[in-house]
Amino acid sequence: MLRLSKLTDYGTVVMTYLAREPGRVHNAAEIAQRVGVALPTVSKVLKLLAKHDLVSSHRGTKGGYMLARPPARITVAEVIDAMEGRIAMTECSSAPGLCEQEVGCSIRANWLRINQAIRTALEAVTLADMTHPITVHRVSADSLRRSSGARAV
């Protein structure tokens, strides 16, 4: 199963919260309370995001955090990269030379292709997109087979 870490999930939640009011400075306690994540976790997330220049921090009594760029110019891929490192499905798709089998692997090019497709999809979604709820339609395997003309076996 492919899954992002909880910390990365919280990173997207925090960034989406900030994207709803991008010009406003938010303190960590307020963010934690509003998104329902513990303050130490929100503080850790904000530090990681600031380190990667996705949020800027402002000191002082009215200090806090705000997006470093407009929400339409920050992608979900950037948030994941900041929280987890560069998106990679396999060792060989993260950087050359990390896998012992790389030289003779017959499917490395396919993993690179899959990795790029996922990255492209995540780069296509911005924080501005994340602020707008979408309707999710559940599709069963049977309805997919019917719509594609495939027969059940």
Q: Is residue 122 part of a domain?
A: no
Higher pLDDT pick, 18 / 152: 18
What pLDDT sits at residue 129? 95
Average of per-residue pLDDT across 88-114: 77
CATH number of the domain enclosing 15: 1.10.10.10
For the ranges 60-74, 86-100, 127-141, the lowest mean pLDDT is seen at 86-100
Q: Is residue 48 part of a domain?
A: yes
Average of per-residue pLDDT across 87-97: 72
Q: How many CB atoms lie within 10 A of CB 78?
A: 20
Q: Is residue 41 part of a domain?
A: yes
Q: pLDDT tens across 10-35, in order?
A: 999 999 999 999 999 999 999 999 99
**Number of domain units in the chain:** 1
Report whether pLDDT(1) > 80.
no
pTM of the predicted model as reported, rounded to 2 decimal places: 0.81
Angle at which helices 76-84 and 39-51 pack, to 10 degrees? Answer: 100
What pLDDT sits at residue 153? 43
Q: Is residue 132 part of a domain?
A: no
Structural domain boundaries enclosing 37 = 6-84
Higher pLDDT pick, 58 / 95: 58
Q: Is residue 24 part of a domain?
A: yes
Q: Is residue 15 part of a domain?
A: yes
